[in-house]
Structure 1
Amino acid sequence: MRACWGLLLLSVSIATAENGSNGWLRYAPLPDNLRQHASSLALPSAIVTLNSTEASPIQTAGKELAAGIQGVLGRSLQVSHDIATASDLSSSILVGTVATYSSAGYGSLNASSFAADGFWLRVNGSSVTIISQNERGALYGAFEYLSRISQGDFSDVDLLSNPDAPIRWVNQWDNLEGTIERGYAGPSIFFSNGLIVQDLTRVSQYARLLASVRVNAIVVNNVNANPSLLNETNIEGLGRIADAMRPYGVQVGISLNFASPDLLGGLKTFDPLESSVITWWTDKTDELYKRIPDFAGYLVKANSEGQPGPLTYNRTLADAANLFARALQPHGGIVMFRAFVYDHHLDPANWKADRANAAVEFFKELDGQFLDNVVVQIKYGPIDFQVREPASPLFANIPNTNTAIELQITQEYLGHQDHLVYIPPLWKTILDFDLRVDSKPSLVRDIVAGRRFNKKLGGYAGVVNVGTSINWLGSHTAMSNLYAYGQLAWDPTQDSQELLQDWTRLTFGLDQSVVETVSKISMASWAAYENYTGNLGIQTLTDILYTHFGPNPANMDNNGWGQWTHADRTTIGMDRTVSNGTGFAGQYPAELAAMYESVETTPDELLLWFHHVSYTHRLRASGKTVIQHFYDAHYAGAETAQTFVSAWEALRGKVDAERFEHVLFRLKFQAGHAIVWRDAVCGFYHNLSGIPDEAGRVGHHPYRIEAESMALSGYSPVAVALAEMASNSTAVVVVVAVTAPTSSNGSSSSSGPAKGEAVAVLDSPDGVYDLAFGYFDVAGGRAHYGAFINDEPLLEWIGDLEDHLGHEFSTKLDGHSATRVTARGVPVQRGDVLKIIGLADGNEAAALDYVAVLPEGVVD
């Protein structure tokens, strides 16, 4: 029987059980054995919430507890808000604040032991007490209790949990017209056609997810802000968003366009020291707080990537931040001022030019000039959410300023949620890094929490791209990053793998094989992605000038954006030394500066970030040359990605059908695209350097039949502009239109779709093979493909990945559109005739690259 897996068949599933809309808050019934165990325990029989109003997080906590216990245990518990009924706590869940607990006569608690948002969870048999310093913290405690019982944990506990930092925000990059910058999960849930949407049901549901991982505020619009967000209609709409999120304790903030007084207010200036501008912002801020009394504050991107800012008027960035800070101070609001300020028109011929230097150059001299309610929001690395960067030295250079770390949950440079990449291990390399300020311990996590430099404000900002996709991020597995972000912002000392396992149990169930498999592939995913994209600190070798998705190492240089490799025929890497390069290494405290200055002491994983070396330079750890490490790492990373598919397939029947197939689809795509990455990067540096792969792999594909070498009818070879993006630099595209035969009345029918055929006689020994078809799925059409062996149907698929995946699609034959589809377990006899028929559609010319005839277990 021929294998028959293809895109046309993906909509078929055994049963539709879940769609991911509840994320990790499924409250799924416990397995029978655990439910039977729970039935033997003394468990709470009532829920009491103290002094809560309808929109209160404590009221929400009561509802959430009732729903969760009903779902997990099948028990219906009444929720009471009458303190008088709470006299017997021996079999109740009691939820309240320190103040309401004490005023109800249950005793006094030491309020000083609670930080803002902190909670106390005490489980003693059937008595559960959840007390917090504020109402939001009580909701967090309720979610903690529900997380435990959802995982089958009914043990007694006495837990006081306080947040590591007060700021635990997420930043949406939503645009008013409804699009989302770096969004891979559909349109905005907040905006459409320049206005706030009317139905905010999804917004409330999103707030629920955020509250469950203790995120306390959200910036709802893009940092590249539209000033019309501040018009009267939209301020009222923002008020409705705040109303929808308030029951979950999630405060609302917004990004500002610095030129709004001019663009919206008609002032003809936006000088931050001009009195009319100051008055305009003060009045606008007061207007916001009149509608949203608990408004969180502002996020500001100024003088970066073409955005307006104070430098237009020769004012400082501190002048700009303090303008907003003064307007917010009477209301208790915060200014998050992004340190992402740099010139994106750098001269690549200037050896000393370095985008990485920008943050320290702009902000170091301003240290101590920011008001107390200003927080400088710093990207974790000096460039832009790359697969690996050193910790930003700015954290060490502004000790008299509040700081927050900006992490990216959305996978802008990490596969756009179409590749599985579990990011927390990357974040932990930064959070746990010791910057050694003044030769003293200075972990990044201690700096942003305010401990190291004795600051009251600080914390975390996570860039997230939740959209209208039913599963929020377009990918079920990507939700692990959002879950772990909130948990790490609360306590950054937590273990990435333990967080992943909690998320898996809450998301996919308690089957240990599922937990182990998801843990195994997810924990391997960042290293694999780094290996098959860019390693040794060279950054992610993506297409910096286009969609940031597929490979294109050629355009990492000779552009103004400053994400350079300085690769030539003999050498590669940025020289960021003080002695000979851009001086970036000198921005670190003395101990680190000395380490990074020397090629002998720089860690291998950051070698090419700090040093320009020959391709034959040998690494300290392995003794391999740089170029051989590139070859080996890219092949190893792509091979690891293949294992994700088989590991997940082993879980069939243990995960509900809809989500199982959804994850499987993406893992199969990733397996194919990892090979695209591998071939493109290895081919580029092989062609550039002329240095062969010691293992003889690069440029040699013994299992492939190149499409241009097949017998072609209606297909014609075409040279791919970026040679390494196609196997053997060449693909074939359909060029002939097929005319339908003349009808019986003598008239000619209209032409059918352009059609091509590619035929090859298979020369492989008799056996069972996997047949992988390399092709290009470009935007602007839905080409049809059919593969046949001896005229028997083998595989049918459509070039419709844009209907299934979330990344921005290319209109060209390149590393973004290159992909593969595979038929597995195909019986083949020597002499079999393989035929591929392609039907073009619109802009999609049914482009083919190759067919790989792979013995089972062999990675192409």
Structure 2
Amino acid sequence: MRILFFLASLGIVAAENGLDGWLRYASLSCTGQCRSKLPANIVVLNATETSPIYIAGSELQIGLKSIYGSHAEITWGKCKASSSVVVGTVEQYRETCGSLSGIPELEEDGFWLSTQGDKVRILGSNDRGALYGAFEYLSMLAQGNFSAVAYASNPSAPIRWVNQWDNMDGSIERGYGGPSIFFKDGAIVEDLSRVKQYGRLLASVRINAVVINNVNANATLLTPENLKGLGRIADVFRPYGVKIGISLNFASPETLGGLDTYDPLDTSVIDWWSSVTEQLYQNVPDMAGYLVKADSEGEPGPAVYNRTLSQGANLFAKALQPYGGIVMFRAFVYNQLNESNWDADRAKAAVDFFKPLDGEFEENVVVQIKFGPIDFQVREPTSPLFANLFNTSSAIELEVTQEYLGQQSHLVYLPPLWKTVLDFDLRVDHKPSLVRDIITGKRFNRKLGGSAAVVNVGTNTTWLGSHLSMSNLYGYGRLAWNAADDPEAILQDWIRLTFGLDPTVLKTLTQLSMESWPAYENYSGNLGIQTLTDILYTHYGPNPQSQDGNGWGQWTRADSTSIGMDRTVSNGTGYSGQYPDEIAAIYEDISTTPDDLLLWFHHVNYTHRLHSGKTIIQHFYDAHYSGAESAQSFLTQWESLKGKVDEERYNHIRHRLDYQTGHSIVWRDAINNFYHNLSGIPDTSKRVGHHPWRIEAENMNLDGYKVYTVSPFETASGSIAIVTASNDTVGTATTKVDFPSGTYDLAVNYYDLYGGKSHWELYLNNHQIGEWAGNSEDVLSHTPSIYLDGHSAMRIKFRGVMVQKGDVLKIVGKPDGVEPAPLDYVAFLPQGVVD
């Protein structure tokens, strides 16, 4: 039972920049009975400064002081009778404090937490487990929870890793939160203070290893100087129970080692990797292991020498075995395909490559499988590879990095998406086979397994570029520990720890976050068609046509009459047959395939009716409008919290949600316009292509501006925008307002390109309503664009403007750099009208 003493002042707190994440230890009031429950002493049963138990003691002291203003003395290795919190391992407790009954068997990294009686006991199976238990206790205190509890908590899997995509030059592939905290200019940074803070965050959610460099690895990480640097990073992480691993470039023996081959069966290659591994362990004695991407997306691999993927993986596995290291070998292997071949299907690649090798991998190899068969899409079916490796350990690969999912400029809370896969029952041999039981090794009796997440933390104080995106990192850690946990309960713990205990804040942020993934799915891509983003450029804004006509295999096969991939055995690619019989039968039959995956498995006419009764095309129209409408509500809900969240974070989040309201409309219109144009089928609600409150920029009187045809066409209203006649010409667009007199919100859609910071001014009757700059590359987190397209399209809104019919609207655009002050349209929005 949760016991809350209320606790927190509801006044404004000091501005916060996000650096502490959910470990803020915000001050709460505590008097009377509450005060009596606070321990006066902290007994630490390991005084070694590099031990996680030592860190646990320090963290407890800091937390108690910060949250409740209570100073607790730390004593080392000597039990006190009462009013204390004791932290150590079970074995240390029995040696120091005597026997203790009632503690269940703990697995590696597990802990037992008891707040019953006159002392708090936090006991781990090992030092790391004790630290986890200390963070658990502090999480309770920070949420005002003084419940009397006694329970054990054990990890569901031994592998709980994160994968950084940091490059040696300090950039981060798909990085939306600033440069690397690990690398700069080809070397490891000198100042590792941010690495220490990151280790603290990871430990608090029980992550036990971090691969610090990009899977598209640079072999220079293995130079002697950088090996020493890896040792420094490991030293910083070690007290937090976090081991480091590294990604390897398969061709390193040739590119770095000077050999004329990197054949995994060549003795010189084997010897070279054995030597490198020995040197690594000399610098990092507890290194977790290697992550390998091979024969994938241009990365070198064993196929160059006609060797199998298992032979490639085993090369590293054998080198690691003397040291207890693990090879995480990515299953993200596929070839370029010919779309004209109806049988071609990238989704089949993982099973095709890896199923024949089941049982050929060394015991310390774990095949790391993306949750779906394509690439972190907004919705995919569970990868069938999980059901096809019976004799090989596996781990699920998730993505905290919102690569295809709004790149941290859109709020998308991801644990509900992950749970659709973790809870999916693959029914192997007609027996319960939940994915979460497969990856933990329980279903197929494997000793290894677990999860890895791509995480793009950077030097930005928000870590990920957005305060709200941190819920995904927190949620990943919680689910990696216990995949059966509820995403909403996890979220609410994160909210209380990050924003405090105000019930209105809790309710509002819960609603916002839980609605965010369904909303994004609705306005980006639904019915299993994938995220209809540009897959050839930034992976951010809408570009449905980019999905087809290339060799990447993320196809929709859309034409003027039909859409979707036929992945059936009877008439399509045969992908559905990769699932166990019960699941294959569901997906093979169009009548039993869930609507939210229909276009993943079946090619149908736009007029095909869903189980809902709607046609495919009408569902598209309706869903995209519904998703954008939900996004508009996010801003309104957040604004209701003004005064309940510190101003710095309030304004930061407000700016992003305001941006999302506009970009969701860009998405809505682009997708609807594209399929309306392709199919020729009208929207029964007469919304698509009908915007009575808009004034198109190209229809205004232009001076210094010229008309510009946007590509892709659907990312501009009417396919046309305006740009300044040259990069040093100021443009003016004017028109008379023909709307009824009244109060309007004025929404201006424009394009914000990388490489310049244009300036715009908006006037009514020569009275300035507002001004803005094209500086999104400085204030938002997504990958910017150098084109007028769905990535650079955005909207700014000026609220509550009094307008008289016949007023003169004028926009002045001043170009900068390569950015020609582009404009798309102006919308005059009466109260309650979204556009």
Please give the TM-score of this superposition, normalised by the length of structure 2. Answer: 0.98
**Which ranges in structure 1 are unaligned for 5 or more consecutive residues?**
1-13, 738-752
Whether 1:462 aligns to 2:453 is yes
Q: Which residue of 2 aligns with 1:133?
A: 125
Deviation at 1:87?
A: 3.6
Asked if structure 1 preserves the Cα contact closer than 8 Å seen for 2:165 and 2:214, the reply is: yes
Q: Distance in 1 between matches of 2:147 and 2:726?
A: 71
Whether 1:598 aligns to 2:589 is yes
Whether 1:646 aligns to 2:636 is yes
Whether 1:384 aligns to 2:384 is no
Deviation at 1:46?
A: 0.4
Q: Distance in 2 between matches of 1:420 and 1:594?
A: 36
Whether 1:442 aligns to 2:433 is yes
Q: Give, as a single letter, the amino acid of the residue that structure 2 aligns with 1:194.
A: G
**Candidates 443, 449, 454, aligned match of 1:452:** 443
Whether 1:776 aligns to 2:766 is no
Q: Which residue of 2 aligns with 1:297?
A: 289
**Candidates 488, 501, 522, aligned match of 1:531:** 522
Q: Which residue of 2 aligns with 1:757?
A: 732
**Residues 265-290 of structure 1: CA deviation (Å, up to 9, x unaligned):** 11111111111111111111111111
Deviation at 1:856?
A: 1.0
> Segments of 4+ in structure 1 off by > 4 A?
37-40, 108-112
Two-structure CA RMSD over aligned residues (Å): 1.2
Q: Give, as a single letter, the amino acid of the residue that structure 2 aligns with 1:856.
A: Q
Whether 1:327 aligns to 2:319 is yes
Equivalence map 1:97-136=2 (5 Å): 97-107=89-99, 113-124=105-116, 126-136=118-128
Q: Distance in 1 between matches of 2:416 and 2:156?
A: 19
Equivalence map 1:135-150=2 (5 Å): 135-150=127-142
Deviation at 1:818?
A: 0.6
1:104 is paired with a residue whose SS is helix
**Candidates 626, 640, 646, aligned match of 2:616:** 626
Asked if structure 2 preserves the Cα contact closer than 8 Å seen for 1:717 and 1:730, the reply is: yes
Greater relative CO (CA pairs within 8 A, separation 6+): 1
Q: Give, as a single letter, the amino acid of the residue that structure 1 aligns with 2:300.
A: P
Q: Distance in 2 between matches of 1:312 and 1:386?
A: 30
**Candidates 754, 766, 775, aligned match of 2:741:** 766
Q: Give, as a single letter, the amino acid of the residue that structure 2 aligns with 1:847.
A: P
Q: Which residue of 2 aligns with 1:799?
A: 774
Deviation at 1:736?
A: 5.5
Distance 1:330 1:109, change over 3 A: farther
1:124 is paired with a residue whose SS is coil
Q: Distance in 2 between matches of 1:533 and 1:460?
A: 27
Q: Which residue of 2 aligns with 1:27?
A: 25
Q: Which residue of 1 aligns with 2:531?
A: 540
Deviation at 1:713?
A: 1.1
**Residues 510-569 of structure 1: CA deviation (Å, up to 9, x unaligned):** 101001110001000000000000000000000000000000001110011100000000
Deviation at 1:435?
A: 0.2
Q: Which residue of 2 aligns with 1:64?
A: 59
**Residues 59-82 of structure 1: CA deviation (Å, up to 9, x unaligned):** 000000000000100011111114
Distance 1:158 1:765, change over 3 A: same
Distance 1:15 1:755, change over 3 A: farther
Equivalence map 1:180-259=2 (5 Å): 180-259=172-251
Q: Give, as a single letter, the amino acid of the residue that structure 2 aligns with 1:363.
A: F
Q: Distance in 2 between matches of 1:473 and 1:516?
A: 24
Asked if structure 2 preserves the Cα contact closer than 8 Å seen for 1:15 and 1:658, the reply is: no
Q: Which residue of 2 aligns with 1:732?
A: 722
Q: Distance in 2 between matches of 1:328 and 1:623?
A: 57
2:361 is paired with a residue whose SS is coil
Q: Give, as a single letter, the amino acid of the residue that structure 2 aligns with 1:836.
A: I
Equivalence map 1:320-399=2 (5 Å): 320-343=312-335, 345-399=336-390
Q: Distance in 2 between matches of 1:405 and 1:314?
A: 27
Deviation at 1:126?
A: 4.4
Asked if structure 1 preserves the Cα contact closer than 8 Å seen for 2:47 and 2:77, the reply is: no
Q: Distance in 2 between matches of 1:299 and 1:829?
A: 64
**Residues 69-111 of structure 1: CA deviation (Å, up to 9, x unaligned):** 001000111111142xx242x2111001122111114215688
Q: Which residue of 1 aligns with 2:6?
A: none
Deviation at 1:330?
A: 1.1
**Residues 109-130 of structure 1: CA deviation (Å, up to 9, x unaligned):** 6887110000000002541000
Q: Distance in 2 between matches of 1:263 and 1:15?
A: 54
Q: Give, as a single letter, the amino acid of the residue that structure 1 aligns with 2:278.
A: D
Q: Distance in 1 between matches of 2:668 and 2:88?
A: 55
**Candidates 683, 701, 708, aligned match of 1:718:** 708
Asked if structure 1 preserves the Cα contact closer than 8 Å seen for 2:522 and 2:623, the reply is: yes
**Residues 352-390 of structure 1: CA deviation (Å, up to 9, x unaligned):** 111000000000011011111110000000000000000
2:31 is paired with a residue whose SS is helix
Distance 1:791 1:425, change over 3 A: same
1:36 is paired with a residue whose SS is coil
Q: Distance in 1 between matches of 2:239 and 2:408?
A: 30
Asked if structure 2 preserves the Cα contact closer than 8 Å seen for 1:174 and 1:220, the reply is: yes
**Residues 789-822 of structure 1: CA deviation (Å, up to 9, x unaligned):** 1111101100111110121111111000110000
Q: Give, as a single letter, the amino acid of the residue that structure 1 aligns with 2:469.
A: A
Q: Give, as a single letter, the amino acid of the residue that structure 2 aligns with 1:732.
A: I
**Candidates 657, 673, 689, aligned match of 2:663:** 673
**Candidates 404, 414, 427, aligned match of 1:413:** 404
Q: Which residue of 2 aligns with 1:17?
A: 15
Q: Which residue of 2 aligns with 1:288?
A: 280
Deviates most, 112-121 or 184-193: 112-121
2:729 is paired with a residue whose SS is strand
Q: Distance in 2 between matches of 1:485 and 1:721?
A: 37
Q: Give, as a single letter, the amino acid of the residue that structure 1 aligns with 2:661.
A: A
Q: Which residue of 2 aligns with 1:3?
A: none
Q: Distance in 2 between matches of 1:311 and 1:263?
A: 17
Q: Give, as a single letter, the amino acid of the residue that structure 2 aligns with 1:844.
A: E
Q: Give, as a single letter, the amino acid of the residue that structure 2 aligns with 1:46.
A: N
Deviation at 1:348?
A: 1.2
Distance 1:109 1:311, change over 3 A: farther
**Candidates 581, 589, 597, aligned match of 2:572:** 581
Please give the TM-score of this superposition, normalised by the length of structure 1. Answer: 0.95
Asked if structure 2 preserves the Cα contact closer than 8 Å seen for 1:98 and 1:109, the reply is: no
**Which ranges in structure 2 are unaligned for 5 or more consecutive residues?**
1-11
Whether 1:79 aligns to 2:54 is no
Q: Distance in 1 between matches of 2:770 and 2:250?
A: 55
Distance 1:710 1:45, change over 3 A: same
Q: Distance in 2 between matches of 1:651 and 1:15?
A: 13
Deviation at 1:721?
A: 2.4
Deviation at 1:15?
A: 9.1
Q: Distance in 2 between matches of 1:789 and 1:127?
A: 69
Q: Distance in 2 between matches of 1:111 and 1:531?
A: 48
Equivalence map 1:605-620=2 (5 Å): 605-620=596-611
Q: Give, as a single letter, the amino acid of the residue that structure 1 aligns with 2:70.
A: R
**Residues 456-492 of structure 1: CA deviation (Å, up to 9, x unaligned):** 1000001000001011000000000000000001011
Q: Distance in 2 between matches of 1:354 and 1:467?
A: 35
Equivalence map 1:36-55=2 (5 Å): 36=31, 39-55=34-50
Deviates most, 824-833 or 841-850: 824-833
Whether 1:699 aligns to 2:689 is yes
Deviates most, 470-479 or 124-133: 124-133
Q: Distance in 1 between matches of 2:36 and 2:737?
A: 66
Asked if structure 1 preserves the Cα contact closer than 8 Å seen for 2:37 and 2:146, the reply is: no
The number of equivalent residue pairs is 824
Equivalence map 1:565-580=2 (5 Å): 565-580=556-571
Asked if structure 2 preserves the Cα contact closer than 8 Å seen for 1:219 and 1:252, the reply is: yes
Q: Distance in 1 between matches of 2:579 and 2:38?
A: 55
**Residues 192-247 of structure 1: CA deviation (Å, up to 9, x unaligned):** 01100000000000000000000000000000000111111111000000001001
**Candidates 644, 652, 662, aligned match of 1:662:** 652
1:636 is paired with a residue whose SS is helix
Q: Give, as a single letter, the amino acid of the residue that structure 2 aligns with 1:64.
A: E
